[in-house]
Amino acid sequence: MRKMTKKNKIAAVALSATLLAAGGGAAYAYWSTTGSGSGTAAAAKGTTPVTINLTVDPNIAPGSPKTITYTADNSKNTSSTPVTLSGAHVSGTSNAGCSPDWFTATVPTDSTGKATTTTVVGGDAAAALGTGTLTLNDDPAVNQDACKGATITVSVDSQ
């Protein structure tokens, strides 16, 4: 084996430093590259709205709450939809003189009074949403006879 001279040692160190710098530069260039790109996505076409149905027990009279049963029809959709009935109110009556303001309507709520949310499965035509009440508020100072035999229209708000 040949003995390394001082000149050969300097050349070996210089060569090592050059290789290290070149390799380090390649790694630096690799990790510091930049670029850009783009992509596309298709937005949903939407769904048919869920239909809210309600039935009210018959023979409403002043001061006697009647049960409103709420159901949802999601038969035209394939996906499930969460439904929250956020409010109900009487929007009209069939008899002149029977004021919608005399009525109070409620929606299904939990034990804290918060409106409940029900997930209605896609394809379900009669999902139960719960019950509320419809009350003709008794006001002894006002003759409410105009409401006898009236048809009461209840409107429901949902989220």
Q: pLDDT higher for 53 or 10?
A: 53
- 11 and 73 assigned to the same domain: no
Q: Provide the pLDDT for residue 48.
A: 80
Put simply, whether the predicted model's pTM sits higher than 0.85 gets the answer no
- 139 and 70 assigned to the same domain: yes
- 55 and 127 assigned to the same domain: yes
Q: Which domain holds residue 27?
A: 1-32
Give the tens place of pLDDT for each residue, 37-86: 666 666 655 568 889 999 999 999 999 999 999 999 999 988 888 999 88
Q: Any idea what the CATH number is for the domain that residue 72 is in? A: 2.60.40
CA distance 97 to 75: 39
Given a cut of 90, is residue 101 above it in pLDDT? yes
Q: Which residue has the tokens 């930049």?
A: 34
Q: Please state the domain count of the chain.
A: 2
Q: Would you say residue 42 lies in a domain? A: no
**Cβ pair 132, 70 in contact under 8 A:** yes
Across 46-55, 99-108, 125-134, 149-158, least confident range:
46-55
- 20 and 82 assigned to the same domain: no
Kindly report the number of other CB atoms within 10 A of residue 76's CB atom.
13
Q: Would you say residue 43 lies in a domain? A: no
- 140 and 73 assigned to the same domain: yes
Q: Provide the pLDDT for residue 92.
A: 94
Q: Which residues touch 52 (CB under 8 Å, ≥6 apart)?
A: 70, 71, 72, 73, 83, 85, 129, 156, 158
For the chain, percent of residues with pLDDT exceeding 90: 58
- 79 and 23 assigned to the same domain: no
Instruction: Report the mean per-residue pLDDT for the chain.
Output: 82
CA atoms within 13 A on the CB side of 23: 6
Q: Would you say residue 81 lies in a domain? A: yes
- 27 and 100 assigned to the same domain: no
Q: Provide the pLDDT for residue 159.
A: 78
